[in-house]
Amino acid sequence: MTNSDQLVLDKKNIDTILVLDFGSQYTQLIARRIRELDVFSIILPWDISKERILEINPTGIILSGGPESVTNKNTPRIPEIIFDLDIPILGICYGMQTLAEQFGGQVTASTTKEFGHASITLEQASILFDGFDAGSLVDVWMSHGDHVSSLPDQFLLIASTPSAPIAAMAHSKKPIYALQFHPEVTHTKEGSAVLENFVFKICNCQAQWKMGNLIEQRIHDIKERVGDHKVLLGLSGGVDSSVTAMLLDRAIGKNLICMFVDNGLLRKNEAEEVEDLFREKMDLNLLVVDAKKIFHRHLKGVSDSEQKRKVIGRTFIDIFDNESAKLKDDIKFLAQGTIYPDVIESSGSESKEARVIKSHHNVGGLPDDMKMELVEPLRDLFKDEVRKMGAELGLPLEMLNRHPFPGPGLGVRILGEITPEKVITLQNADAIFIEELIKADLYHQVSQAFCAYLPVKSVGVVGDERRYADVIAIRAVETVDFMTATWAKLPYDFLGHVSNRIVNEVEEISRVVYDISSKPPATIEWE
């Protein structure tokens, strides 16, 4: 099921913002921000057909950013049909640059790229910045190399920065607007207000899109696609696969078979906790497969991060295929809790322009010859949307509020080759960190926290003896959408206490470091 197939909606009575994707890592954030306003939004590639646009009948169009340069030949351009629809248009970053170029303006490749916080100066009033005073400074997030150096005819300068003299512009007669910065990311503090102005004051949309609508639509989609066939769900115990389980249970009931694979890369005592919750408390049809030895055998000697993800993905599928063959029922579909950040970073979106950041084991690691068809009902949702859906479906709070855990598990938190011994060491260190976060009432103040095992040895002194042992990095971030994140400013005393406990209680570790990298430029996980 492709992204565009997942939402088959009757658009006759619902306003829709169409987001044209030019390959930005932030594209889905735009749609998510629009949905937060209770307005439906759908993402389609920039080269969408005229017929498809007319079929959607959008109330407004947003042009995303992208990695290409307008100054190069054969790079994406806005379909001309867009300008014939006489509906509001908002270009963002690359969307602004190609908009300017297509209207006769000039785009220049910058000698220095601009990534991070910036302050724009509002040069004149605009409905897009309604509520802001002309001349005021607005904190925004920039991520661009090129910039518009000359305004197209009939366009007005709205905002500027020293490095981007034309940071926002608007057509003098038509509802066409453009921004060099990214209003969709949380780092642009007033970004939601700008998008809200576009959606409600320029496009005149009605707030008609609710989570209840989405749940009903997904249940309908699942029933239509699956019919009376059995579905095998790869249940990890995390939020994503758990919400997928609840959604499938609503749609197909006893035709859902949940399989939990203990891959030997889980958090401490996690296998037992998952089995207790889903089999005993939630009464789901749960199969538990002990595959620790299989995974470790396949991962032996593998140290490259991308290869590890692919090995883990392939091994999962092999196990699902083998175990499903043992079942009496014919299993046609495999369900996964894949969410959109997984797809974006694996370049699994419909856009041909997106860059691969890392292969998600559910996306980049799946083999072409897989026997079962995929069902991924959360594929176009972000983590916070998944949690909202889970709450409406009645998932227990302790599950909903749990920090995310990657599908490849500790396999992407152990740098270099994975061994059973390293897994145990990391499990013990990670358990200490999480335990202390909970005790200090900090667990729910951060969005994700974990330990990573570094392939580095360091000299330490424990008691009166020299210890030449490994290094653990602890990581905690704050984020809303997991596409951008800032490192958590945990108290120094707390960090010192965690470090002391890990070094004293985990014999294989001699040193603890704290990761203070934000996303971007780093990712949240280490691999």
Total H helices, total E strands in the chain: 15, 18
pLDDT confidence tier of residue 113, bands split at 50, 70 and 90: low
Q: With 50 as the cut, is the pLDDT of residue 363 above it?
A: no
Specify the 3-state DSSP secondary structure of 329. coil
pLDDT confidence tier of residue 390, bands split at 50, 70 and 90: very high
State the CATH number of the domain containing residue 468.
3.30.300.10
Q: What is the pTM of this model?
A: 0.66
Number of structural domains found in the chain = 3
Is the domain of 325 the same as that of 190?
A: no
Q: With 90 as the cut, is the pLDDT of residue 418 above it?
A: yes
Task: Specify burial of residue 518 (Cβ count, 10 A radius: 0-12, 13-18, 19+).
Answer: middle
**Which helix (H) or strand (E) element contains residue 213?**
helix 211-226
- pLDDT value for 444: 93
Single residue among 179, 202, 225 that ends a domain in this structure: 202
Q: With 80 as the cut, is the pLDDT of residue 177 above it?
A: yes
Q: In this structure, is residue 527 part of a structural domain?
A: no
Is the domain of 220 the same as that of 151?
A: no
The model's pLDDT over 117-145, given as tens digits with 9 standing for 90+, comes to 778 889 988 999 998 877 777 778 777 67
Triad 409, 334, 233: Cα angle to 5°: 55
Give the lowest-confidence range in 112-116, 190-194, 253-257. Answer: 112-116
- Tell the residue number behind the tokens 């859902």, with chain if given: 256
The model's pLDDT over 150-165, given as tens digits with 9 standing for 90+, comes to 999 999 999 988 778 8
Is the domain of 371 the same as that of 222?
A: yes
- Tell the residue number behind the tokens 């570094």, with chain if given: 454
Q: Among 470, 430, 435, which residue's Cα sits nearest to residue 450?
A: 430
CB 375 within 8 Å of CB 225: yes
Is the domain of 220 the same as that of 88?
A: no
Give the Cα separation of 187 and 510 in Å (integer): 36
- pLDDT value for 491: 97
Is the domain of 282 the same as that of 245?
A: yes
Single residue among 400, 435, 465 that ends a domain in this structure: 400
Is the domain of 293 the same as that of 365?
A: yes
Q: In this structure, is residue 396 part of a structural domain?
A: yes
Is the domain of 178 the same as that of 268?
A: no
Average pLDDT over residues 265-276: 90
Q: With 60 as the cut, is the pLDDT of residue 359 above it?
A: no
Catalytic residues: 93, 182, 184
Is the domain of 162 the same as that of 92?
A: yes
Is the domain of 301 the same as that of 175?
A: no
Is the domain of 351 the same as that of 245?
A: yes
Specify which residues 150 forms β-bridges with: 106
Is the domain of 197 the same as that of 238?
A: no
Specify the 3-state DSSP secondary structure of 290. strand
Is the domain of 383 the same as that of 427?
A: no
Q: In this structure, is residue 87 part of a structural domain?
A: yes
CB 467 within 8 Å of CB 461: yes
Q: With 60 as the cut, is the pLDDT of residue 366 above it?
A: no
- pLDDT value for 303: 93
Q: In this structure, is residue 408 part of a structural domain?
A: no
- pLDDT value for 302: 95
pLDDT confidence tier of residue 116, bands split at 50, 70 and 90: low
CB 479 within 8 Å of CB 485: yes
Q: Among 165, 170, 167, 164, which residue's Cα sits nearest to residue 179?
A: 167
Give the Cα separation of 354 and 349 in Å (integer): 8
Q: In this structure, is residue 524 part of a structural domain?
A: no
Q: Among 44, 47, 57, which residue's Cα sits nearest to residue 10?
A: 57
Give the Cα separation of 242 and 234 in Å (integer): 10
State the CATH number of the domain containing residue 109.
3.40.50.880
Average pLDDT taken over every residue of the chain: 86
CB 27 within 8 Å of CB 21: yes
Phi, psi of 475 (to 5 degrees): -135, 130
pLDDT confidence tier of residue 356, bands split at 50, 70 and 90: very low
Instruction: Print the domain residue range for 257.
Output: 211-400
Helices (H), 337-473: 340-345, 383-393, 397-400, 420-439
Q: In this structure, is residue 58 part of a structural domain?
A: yes
Task: Classify residue 196 as left (phi > 0), alpha (psi -120 to 50) or beta.
Answer: alpha
Q: With 90 as the cut, is the pLDDT of residue 179 above it?
A: yes
Listed in order, strand segments (DSSP E) in 266-396 are 286-290, 331-335, 373-375
- pLDDT value for 320: 79
Give the Cα separation of 19 and 87 in Å (integer): 13
Give the Cα separation of 23 and 48 in Å (integer): 13
Cα 130 to the center of its chain, rounded Å: 30
State the CATH number of the domain containing residue 255.
3.40.50.620
Average pLDDT over residues 357-375: 57
CB 415 within 8 Å of CB 452: yes
Q: With 90 as the cut, is the pLDDT of residue 355 above it?
A: no
Cα 336 to the center of its chain, rounded Å: 15
Single residue among 369, 400, 431 that ends a domain in this structure: 400
More confident residue, 501 or 141: 501
Q: Among 80, 53, 69, 59, which residue's Cα sits nearest to residue 16?
A: 59
Structure tokens at 163: 């490095």
Specify the 3-state DSSP secondary structure of 40. strand
Contacts of 430-436 spanning 24+ positions with Cβ under 8 A: 430/267, 430/268, 431/267, 431/268, 432/498, 432/501, 432/502, 432/505, 432/506, 433/474, 433/498, 433/502, 434/267, 434/403, 436/494, 436/497, 436/498, 436/501
Give the Cα separation of 245 and 251 in Å (integer): 10
The model's pLDDT over 318-351, given as tens digits with 9 standing for 90+, comes to 887 888 788 877 788 989 998 876 776 554 444 4
Question: How many residues are given for the chain?
Answer: 527
Q: With 70 as the cut, is the pLDDT of residue 464 above it?
A: no
Q: In this structure, is residue 52 part of a structural domain?
A: yes
- pLDDT value for 5: 36
The amino acid that residue 91 corresponds to is G
CB 41 within 8 Å of CB 35: yes
More confident residue, 133 or 449: 449
- pLDDT value for 521: 87
The model's pLDDT over 467-484, given as tens digits with 9 standing for 90+, comes to 778 999 999 999 877 778
**Angle between helix 305-326 and helix 292-299 axes, rounded to 10 deg:** 140
CB 472 within 8 Å of CB 495: no
- pLDDT value for 13: 67
Q: In this structure, is residue 129 part of a structural domain?
A: yes
